[in-house]
């Protein structure tokens, strides 16, 4: 029976524990998409704080696919050196690091030309997106593949495909935003086709030795016309069995302007359902309680526990959790005096 502070392995990536830093946009990049010292300090602090895996914020594979002009980019080779510097500092502090590859689609900042599966705006504050044709879809696949190539060059241990929270891959997956009648719409196979083709293209360039994650909104909570859990479970299983995706990052919502209640561990049943299919899973959402996080791993509800706001509040959450769970505390030597 594994526990929160036991190692985890996926392909050639070995994590020192089951704690991941969930991707969280910092809106602190330069307008050319390159990272700044803020990112170097922010991610380095969480690695020094004891997490097993740092997942960098959604980094855009296209300049026009940004949520804001301050998004991190991975659409240009000039962005690689800064990313490599972050990889190096995270590795130096004993953690592994991944980067989330994304495209905002119809949720792009209104200063950019938005694209999407169908010409329907997310809300009144966003542009009506241009419907992608076959050539545009092929370009999106190429952009994700090129982002994965740059991630490999920068030394990332894994990449995560962002197919959730109402961004482009999720927009294709969801009947809320995808009203197409061609091979990329209609039934689940058509709506999931772009996700599958992106996963294949990313695997081709990222190599066989490193794992690939995919984030899925397992439920479109509170939104009318969304897909049911049975469909996303099928997508999760197909990604894992046929398209080289090693782990599903389980989240919810984001493709309609609604909110959902967030009690501690509220997504654990979704993560457990993925794992019950034989697919490794990671769960995010109010998991900052050490006993809850440890029990989720021990009970087989998730392989990895991702923290978001909890790690913003406390970069050293892992060490406090070790003390609370009464396991050996493993801070850097420079901080050891604080735990005696």
3-class DSSP assignment, residue 100:
strand
260 pLDDT more than 80: no
Distance CA 12, CA 174 (A): 33
Q: Is residue 176 part of a domain?
A: yes
Percent of the chain with pLDDT over 90: 95
Which two structure tokens, joined as six digits, stand for 104? 């905002």
167: domain CATH number is: 3.20.20.70
Q: Is residue 1 part of a domain?
A: no
Residue with tokens 């994590």: 15
Q: What confidence tens digit (pLDDT) does each residue in 6-56 have? A: 999 999 999 999 999 999 999 999 999 999 999 999 999 999 999 999 999
Average of per-residue pLDDT across 63-75: 98
- The domain total for the chain is 1
Q: Is residue 134 part of a domain?
A: yes
Q: Is residue 138 part of a domain?
A: yes
Distance CA 147, CA 74 (A): 5
Q: 19 lies in which domain range?
A: 8-339
Distance CA 239, CA 37 (A): 36
**Do 241 and 196 touch, CB atoms closer than 8 A?**
no
Q: Which of 66, 53, 45, 41 is nearest to 17 (CA)?
A: 53
Q: What confidence tens digit (pLDDT) does each residue in 144-169 have? A: 999 999 999 999 999 999 999 999 99
pLDDT-derived band at 215 (thresholds 50, 70, 90) equals: very high
DSSP state for residue 127 in the 8-state scheme: P
**Do 239 and 192 touch, CB atoms closer than 8 A?**
no
How many residues are there in the chain?
340
Checking DSSP bridges between strand 158-163 and strand 130-131, what pairing results, if any?
A: unpaired
Q: Is residue 181 part of a domain?
A: yes
pLDDT-derived band at 258 (thresholds 50, 70, 90) equals: confident
Q: How many helices (H) and strands (E) does the chain have?
A: 11, 12
Average of per-residue pLDDT across 265-269: 97
Q: Is residue 47 part of a domain?
A: yes
Residue with tokens 């998409």: 33
Distance CA 22, CA 25 (A): 10
Average of per-residue pLDDT across 164-187: 98
Q: What confidence tens digit (pLDDT) does each residue in 75-99 have? A: 999 999 999 999 999 999 999 999 9
Distance CA 292, CA 110 (A): 40
Average of per-residue pLDDT across 171-194: 98
Q: What confidence tens digit (pLDDT) does each residue in 278-337 have? A: 999 999 999 999 999 999 999 999 999 999 999 999 999 999 999 999 999 999 999 999
> Could you give the residue numbers annotated as active site?
167
**Do 233 and 282 touch, CB atoms closer than 8 A?**
no
Q: Give the mean pLDDT of the chain.
A: 97
User: In terms of pTM, does the model score above 0.85?
Assistant: yes
What is the pLDDT, as a whole number, of residue 191?
98
261 pLDDT more than 90: no
What is the pLDDT, as a whole number, of residue 223?
80
Q: Please state the three-class secondary structure of 50-64 as a single string.
A: CCCEEEEEEEECCHH
Q: Is residue 54 part of a domain?
A: yes
Q: Please state the three-class secondary structure of the chain as a single string.
A: CCCCCCCEEECCEEECCCEEECCCCCCCCCCCCCCCHHHHHHHHHHHHCCCCEEEEEEEECCHHHCCCCCCCECCCHHHHHHHHHHHHHHHHCCCEEEEEEECCHHHCCCCCCCEECCCCCCCCCCCCCEECCHHHHHHHHHHHHHHHHHHHHHCCCEEEEEECCCCHHHHHHCCCCCCCCCCCCCCHHHHCHHHHHHHHHHHHHHCCCCCEEEEEECCCCCCCCCCCHHHHHHHHHHHHHHCCCCEEEEECCCCCCCCCCCCCCCCHHHHHHHHHCCCCEEEECCCCCHHHHHHHHHCCCCCEEEECHHHHHCCCHHHHHHHHHCCCCCCCHHHHHHHC
**Do 307 and 291 touch, CB atoms closer than 8 A?**
no
Q: Which residue has the higher pLDDT, 278 or 259?
A: 278
What is the pLDDT, as a whole number, of residue 132?
98
**Do 195 and 144 touch, CB atoms closer than 8 A?**
no
Q: Per-residue b/e over 77-97, b at no fewer than 16 CB within 10 Å?
A: eebbebbebbbebbeebebbb
Q: Is residue 2 part of a domain?
A: no
pLDDT-derived band at 340 (thresholds 50, 70, 90) equals: confident
What is the pLDDT, as a whole number, of residue 40?
98
What is the pLDDT, as a whole number, of residue 242?
98
What is the pLDDT, as a whole number, of residue 108?
98
221 pLDDT more than 80: no
């Amino acid at each position: 029976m594994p526990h929160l502070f036991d190692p985890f392995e996926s392909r050639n990536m070995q994590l020192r524990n089951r704690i991941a830093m969930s991707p969280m946009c910092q809106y602190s990049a330069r307008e050319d998409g390159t990272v700044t010292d803020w990112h170097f300090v922010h991610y380095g602090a969480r690695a020094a704080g004891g997490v097993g895996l740092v997942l960098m914020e959604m980094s855009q594979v296209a300049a026009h696919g940004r949520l804001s002009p301050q998004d991190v980019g991975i659409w240009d080779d000039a962005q690689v050196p800064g990313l490599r510097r972050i990889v190096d500092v995270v590795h130096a502090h004993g953690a592994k690091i991944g980067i989330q590859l994304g495209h905002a689609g119809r949720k792009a900042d209104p200063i950019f030309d938005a694209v999407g599966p169908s010409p329907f705006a997310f809300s009144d504050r966003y542009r009506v997106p241009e419907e992608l044709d076959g050539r545009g879809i092929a370009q999106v696949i190429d952009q994700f593949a090129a982002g994965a190539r740059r991630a490999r060059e920068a030394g990332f241990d894994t990449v995560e495909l962002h197919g959730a929270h109402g961004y482009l891959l999720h927009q294709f997956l969801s009947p809320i935003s995808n009203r197409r009648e061609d091979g990329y719409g209609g039934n689940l196979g058509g709506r999931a086709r772009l996700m599958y083709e992106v996963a294949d293209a990313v695997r081709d360039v990222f190599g066989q030795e490193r794992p690939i994650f995919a984030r899925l909104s397992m439920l479109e909570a509170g939104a009318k016309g969304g897909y049911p859990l049975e469909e996303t479970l099928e997508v999760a299983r197909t990604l894992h069995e046929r398209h080289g995706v090693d782990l599903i990052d389980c989240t919810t919502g984001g493709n309609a302007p609604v909110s959902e209640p967030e009690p501690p561990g509220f997504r654990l049943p979704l993560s457990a359902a993925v794992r019950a299919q034989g697919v490794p899973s990671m769960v995010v959402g109010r998991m900052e309680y050490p006993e809850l996080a440890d029990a989720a791993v021990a009970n087989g509800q998730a392989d990895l526990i991702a923290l978001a706001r909890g790690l913003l509040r406390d970069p050293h959450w892992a060490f406090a959790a070790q003390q609370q769970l009464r396991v050996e505390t493993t801070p850097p030597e420079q901080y050891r005096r604080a735990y005696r």
